[in-house]
Amino acid sequence: MRLPGASACRPGSLSLSPRLLCVITITMAIRKPDHSPAAVDHGALKQSLGYLVHLADLANMQGFARAFAGTGLTAARYTALELIGSNPGIKPADLAAAMAVERSNLVALVRFLSDKGWVQAGAGPNRREKSLELTPAGRNALAGLRERLARHERELAARLSAEDRRQLEALLARIVGA
């Protein structure tokens, strides 16, 4: 994607402020995925909200991988750990629903966290269902991992003002229905 000139930073039909749209457009141009040749003109995709969100997600995932290198954690594994930590006793079915994954796909995530000694399964309230909670080692690990995530988030949002970030978070939350 070529860096846009001032004329390319127009809000068009999106309900973003002109300044925020410009910041997003420029940020996506600067933070393009490593595999995207600089000479490629992305045409109408430059105004595609879905495409910009996709590029932002790629930048996020690349930064996450760098920030969590050496931990063995993927974004999904970290998400599971964070959700279990924030919801002690959560049932696997509820965790899968919160992560928008199939329960069968959750098994490997929980197994990884259990093998690390960070998560333990216990009997749920009706004894038929399991519940998940962090171990003391898991709580300690999560505290350090939250610091990594905070550094990653600061890097990801480095080109945004505090107000731009709040506005972007609010708009993305509206898109996902949160």
Could you read off the pLDDT of 132-160 as tens digits, one per residue?
999 999 999 999 999 999 999 999 999 89
The predicted structure's pLDDT at residue 145? 97
Q: For residue 174, what are the contacts with CB-CB under 8 A and spacing of at least 6?
A: none
51 vs 47: CA distance, rounded Å: 8
14 vs 42: CA distance, rounded Å: 18
- pLDDT range class, residue 14, cuts 50, 70, 90: very low
The predicted structure's pLDDT at residue 147? 96
116 vs 170: CA distance, rounded Å: 35
The residue among 51, 46, 50 whose CA lies nearest residue 25 is 46
pLDDT, tens only, 54-113: 999 999 999 999 999 999 999 999 999 999 999 999 999 999 999 999 988 899 999 999
Residue-range domains of the chain with CATH = 6-67+147-176 (no CATH), 75-134 (1.10.10.10)
Q: Classify residue 132 by its DSSP letter.
A: E
- pLDDT range class, residue 1, cuts 50, 70, 90: very low
